[in-house]
Structure formats: C-alpha cells, structure tokens
Structure 1
Amino acid sequence: MSERAEGNLEPALIQRLHRALTESGDELFTLMQDGSPEVLRAALKNPALGEEHLRALLKRRDLTEDLLKAIHQHKAVASSHRLKVALAYNPMTPGPIVQSLLGQLFLFELITLCYLPGVTPDQKLAAERIILQRLPTTDLGNKVTLARRGTSTLVGELLKEGEPLLMEPCLANPRLKEISILQFLNGPKGTAETISIIARHPRWKTRPNLKMAILKNRKTPPVWFTLFLPPLRRVDLHELLASQRLSPGQKKLVEDEVRRRDR
C-alpha cells in the first residue's frame, strides 16, 4: 500500500474512533460490527453503551482476548446476568474468565455451555462439577429435564439416586453409558421397581452384561429369571449358582433351569 493510501486511511480511522466515543442508539449498534479492535475498545468508553450493545458485540466470534477482558471489566457486566451468560458462551473468552462466571449461571445455562462448540474439557468439567454440587437442592422436575439433557457424567449420577421417576429419562438419554447402569445394579439403591424398569427397557434389555447384573441382584423380581434364564449359556447359569448375592428363592430358580436342561 502506498504512503498516500495509508494516509487516506488514518482520517477514516480517527473518524470511526470519534464516532465510537460519541454515537448512541442504532449508530452504536452499527459500530459493534467494526473490524478494528481499537474502535471497539473506544466504544467501551462511550457513556451511551448499554447492555444490548454489549450483547450484540458478544455475538461475534472474532473478538480478541484483550477485548473480551475489557468487556468483562465493563461496569454493565457486573449487574447483568444476560451479559455474564453471553460472555461465558463466547468461545474466545479466556478460560479464567469463564471459570469465574460459571458459579453465577443457572442450571440449564450450565448444561448449554457443556455442549457449546469450542468449550474446553476443563470448562465442561467445571460446569459439571457445579451442577453436581447443586443436585441435592434441585427439585425433581428439573432433575427429570436434566436426566434427558445431561452429559454422560450427569445422567450417570442421576441414575445412582435410584428415583423411579428419573429412570426412564436417564435410560433414554443417548449419552448414558452401560457402565453407569452396571454401577447402579451393583449398588445399594436398586429396588424391584427400578430394576424392572431397566430389564424391560428396549435399549438396554438385550445387553448380556446387564442381564447378568440384573440376575445377580437380590432385589430382582422372579419374573426376570423366568424370562432371562432360558436363553443363557450353561456357563452363565453356573456363574449365577456360584454367586453369593442371590437369594435362596433366586438360586432355586437357577437350579430349576439347570435341572430342566439336564432332563
């Protein structure tokens, strides 16, 4: 670029900087799309700059870390929950700032953050940790929604609670892992009702490991032995007989199946 061309740019930049400091209303919204970080930083000093202007600015995905730090320090952010959310959701916001904002977000805002493109593993882990800390005081209705939308970590923890009303939404969550169900079946919270919910669920009822875990649970109703034992391999039947976890009635059902096959 020639010196003359460069000189022609300077007055234009000066004019934009002046506008950034003095404009208001719709003109200020237009300036939020300016490509110059200097112009945007100048706009942060404009007394007419309000929450809506900053929210429009935070929708951009090309902001520098320095500019985002300056936005975080703006007085409007301290009193605006929506600005804190917008700042936390911007993928270019520095990690330490996001971490400082997480504790101020609502439950489902944290869930949304977990799935945002660009969220780091550390930020996701921190959001999950805050949600887990809030679970004891979260009402059942929100837990049901959380069971449907939660990450694998969150839905696994909800399953462990053993609440019958949470079972179906947890089991239907595509992020639920089989290991979480095995941990539940091997834990103390299972009941005849919740075990039966797992045993009849179309997604999980055919899993061999889950079938064995169901059959090894003392609280499993007899009907599931009637349905699950006939297709089992003989080696699996002997594994069940060797288990110390079966009730006497359950063990008799397994022995009856072994005798039936022997005949």
Structure 2
Amino acid sequence: MTPESSANSAPLDRELSLRLHHALTCGKEELFQVMLDPVMEVLGASLRNPSLDENHLLALLGRRDLTEELLRTLSRHDTVAESHQLKVALLHNPGTPATVSLPFLPHLYLFELVALAELPGTTPDQRLAAERAIIQRLPTTPLGNRITLARRATATVLDALMKEGDVRVVEPCLGNPRLKEASVFQLVASPRASGESITAVARNPRWGNRPNLKGAILKNPGTPLPLFGSLLPGAPVHELRDLAASGRLTGERKRLVAEELRRRGL
C-alpha cells in the first residue's frame, strides 16, 4: 500500500471502527438508527448489542437489502428462536434463502403459511415448501378453516382440497380464480366423487359448460341420474356412442343414452 492510499484509507477505517463500536454499545433508541446502516458488518455488530430486542430485529428484517450471510446469522439469534413474530418476519424477507426458511415453516400457523405462499417475493422453493406444509395439515384442519382456505389457496393446495371431495369445500374452491381445470376434471372423473360434488361442478357458471368436464361427468357412474339425463341432449354424437359402448354404465343410464341416439336418428 502506498503512503497516499494508506492516508486515504485510514479515515475510513477509523470511521468504520467508530460505527462498529457504536453498534455494539449504543442504547435502545440509538440502536434503531443503527438498523438503517448500509454496511452489513455494522449490522452484524449490532446483533451483539446488549440493548438489542425484538423491535430492533423487526425493523432490521423489514429491510430488503440484507445479505444471505446476515440473514443466516439472524436465523440463529436467540431472540429469533424465542419470537414467533420474528420467525414470520424472517420468512417474509425475500432475501432469506430456502435452506434457512424451511426449518421454520412448521412453526407457522396455517394462514401464515398461506400468506407466505402468496407473497410476491417468495421463491418457488419456499412457495412449494409452504404449500406442502399446508397440505400436510389438511387432515387435522377444521372444516371452517378448510372452507376459508378454499377461497384463498394457491392452485396446488386447491388441488388437494378438491381431491377430498367434500362438497362444502368443493363449492368455495370452484369460485377461487386460481383453480385449474385439471383439478376439477380429476374430481368429476373420480369414482370416489360424491353426487353432490359432481352436481356442484355441473351447476357452476365457470365450470359447468366446459366440454371436457361435461364428458367426464357423463362417464362417471356416480353422477346423479337427473343430471346425467339433462346433459345428454347437449352431448356430441361420439360421446353418446362411447357411453353406449361403455361397461361403466348400466340400466337406466344405458336406456337414456339409447333413447337420445334414437331421437337423433342414429
């Protein structure tokens, strides 16, 4: 290092040393100002300040420019370990890497997981992990919460809710704009689908007129007979012929299909 460069860096080193010392020793009120410092080293020093509390860390985690290294250090801090609010704030910070956030997911409440999955800054890995955590809890989730979840959930969670087949949950799922046709198709094509759930799909203004879904409803032996009969006049000829040849349909359904074919002169 030249004498000139040494002279230029000396004031900077002294300034940084003073800021580091201040971060380590200042009082509670001053520490809030330290949380705004642009240098990560200073922020790291502040984590060892005896006056540090939950409110300081909440202010720090509200920043969007924290490095992964600092966020990892934060995740190991005793105050974070003891605070539910700080765990949520850590997970909501877009810079938190998945390897840090995943172990904290079991500590979140159901709708905190939902909020995390919907958060714009959430990475695909974090979103997938949150969705898996939600789905794992579904068997023990009360009906009222599953209904609320059906109105808010992401497509992956909706798919799991639809597979349950409970019409009380299916109906709010059908109104969720994130629901995919593939999830609805799986429901109406399933031999485990209840007549009530199939009817809810058929009567839904968004889903009831989709050709693929109508076809699946007609092929499902669990479709209520009145609904089956009401769909036949609108069915394409090839579907009627497939139904007539199907081994899944018997009795009155076969008769109704044959009658519709005769009505069309086929």
Where structure 2 has 5 or more consecutive residues not aligned to the other structure, the ranges are none
Q: Give the whole-Å Cα distance in 2 for the aligned partners of 1:257 and 1:73.
A: 70
% identity of equivalent residues: 52
Query: Does structure 1 residue 135 correspond to structure 2 residue 118?
Result: no
* Counterpart for residue 226 of structure 2: 223
The alpha carbon displacement at 1:240 in A equals 1.4
The alpha carbon displacement at 1:241 in A equals 1.0
Q: Give the whole-Å Cα distance in 2 for the aligned partners of 1:50 and 1:59.
A: 15
Q: Is contact 1:160–1:189 with CA below 8 Å preserved after alignment?
A: no
Q: Secondary structure at the match of 1:131?
A: helix
* Counterpart for residue 102 of structure 1: 105
Deviations 1:216-240 (A, max 9, x none): 1222223323432222221121111
The alpha carbon displacement at 1:123 in A equals 2.3
Which region of structure 1 is more displaced relative to structure 2, 48-57 or 232-241? 232-241
Deviations 1:146-190 (A, max 9, x none): 111112121111111111210111111122221212211222332
Q: Is contact 2:191–2:220 with CA below 8 Å preserved after alignment?
A: no
Q: How many residues align?
A: 263
Query: Does structure 1 residue 12 correspond to structure 2 residue 12?
Result: no
* Counterpart for residue 123 of structure 1: 126
Q: Give the whole-Å Cα distance in 2 for the aligned partners of 1:133 and 1:188.
A: 24
Q: How does 1:145-224 map to 2 (within 5 A)?
A: 145-224=148-227
Query: Does structure 1 residue 58 correspond to structure 2 residue 65?
Result: no
Deviations 1:77-133 (A, max 9, x none): 111011111111212112211111111111111122222234333222222222121
TM-score normalised per structure 1: 0.93
TM-score normalised per structure 2: 0.92
The alpha carbon displacement at 1:2 in A equals 6.6
The alpha carbon displacement at 1:5 in A equals 4.9
Q: CA RMSD in A?
A: 1.8
Give 1:248's match in structure 2, choosing from 236, 248, 251.
251
Give 1:78's match in structure 2, choosing from 74, 78, 81.
81
Which region of structure 1 is more displaced relative to structure 2, 53-62 or 122-131? 122-131
The alpha carbon displacement at 1:4 in A equals 5.1
Q: Is contact 2:174–2:201 with CA below 8 Å preserved after alignment?
A: yes
Q: Give the whole-Å Cα distance in 2 for the aligned partners of 1:234 and 1:49.
A: 74
Which region of structure 1 is more displaced relative to structure 2, 19-28 or 199-208? 19-28
Deviations 1:36-55 (A, max 9, x none): 11110110000110011001
Q: Is contact 2:191–2:222 with CA below 8 Å preserved after alignment?
A: no
Which region of structure 1 is more displaced relative to structure 2, 170-179 or 9-18? 9-18
Where structure 1 has 5 or more consecutive residues not aligned to the other structure, the ranges are none
Which region of structure 1 is more displaced relative to structure 2, 56-65 or 110-119? 110-119
Q: Is contact 1:240–1:254 with CA below 8 Å preserved after alignment?
A: yes
